[in-house]
Amino acid sequence: MVVTHVAVALAFAVPVALAAPQFATPAAVGAIVGGVFPDLDLLVGEHRRTLHFPVFGPVLAVPGVVLAFLVPTPLTVALALALVGGGLHSASDVLGAGEELRPWERTNTNAVYDHVSGRWWQARYVFPYDGSPQDLGLAVVAGVPVLLVYDGPVRWGLGAALGVAVVYAVLRRRLVPYFERIL
């Protein structure tokens, strides 16, 4: 789920915040933008395809991080974390379920579109579905160091998002009929 993507991306901002506190805020902002960004294709285009780049994303993150080390400014640090967060989000979607309302039925195993090979990567179900206990567990494990190191809006925002994620995880299966009515 998107909260997990944001929590994982923010976990990568933690070492930045510890090593260079003056870049803590741009690192967090970049991580949040990168963690959320791919899923904006829920709103425009085709989900898990239009804004998901499981190959280009992680590859682009490498020069992004190198640039931030060579020229550390708020902008380059934010950009590096955005590329890391977005690349990880795109590539790690393959570890979840396919594009389906009832992922536990495994009716569509297309996980994320690989623009390089021009085909869908198949879901690995390491995290069986969005909002599954495994998914929530990862969000919490990734989120705890963020909550400890950051304060202010990052801590409270992530704390609130994790609270919503717990409710979502509890209700996930029961929400399906409502999702179907909306769609």
Query: Cα–Cα distance between 75 and 14 in angstroms, integer?
Result: 17
- Contacting range for Zn ion; rule: CB under 5 A; set: 31-39, 103-111, 113-121, 144-152: 31-39
Residues 57-86 that bind Zn ion (CB under 5 A): none
Q: How far is CA 88 from the centre of its chain?
A: 7
Written in H, E and C, the secondary structure of 67-114 is HHHHCCCHHHHHHHHHHHHHHHHHHHHHHCCCCCCCHHHCCCCEEEEE
- Contacting range for Zn ion; rule: CB under 5 A; set: 34-42, 120-128, 130-138, 157-165: 34-42
Q: How far is CA 18 from the centre of its chain?
A: 22
For residue 52, the minimal CB distance to Zn ion (Å) is: 6
Residue 135 binds Zn ion (CB under 5 A): no
- Contacting range for Zn ion; rule: CB under 5 A; set: 38-46, 67-75, 101-109, 123-131: 38-46
- Residue listed under structure tokens 């998002």: 161
Reduce the DSSP state of residue 119 to 3 states and report it.
Answer: strand
Residue 93 binds Zn ion (CB under 5 A): yes
Residue 30 binds Zn ion (CB under 5 A): no
Residue 130 binds Zn ion (CB under 5 A): no
Reduce the DSSP state of residue 126 to 3 states and report it.
Answer: coil
Instruction: Identify which of residues 16 and 48 has a Cβ nearer to Zn ion in the complex.
Output: 48
- Out of 39, 99, 130, 135, the only residue in the binding site for Zn ion (CB under 5 A) is 39
Reduce the DSSP state of residue 181 to 3 states and report it.
Answer: helix
Residue 38 binds Zn ion (CB under 5 A): yes
Binding site for Zn ion (CB under 5 A): 38-39, 93
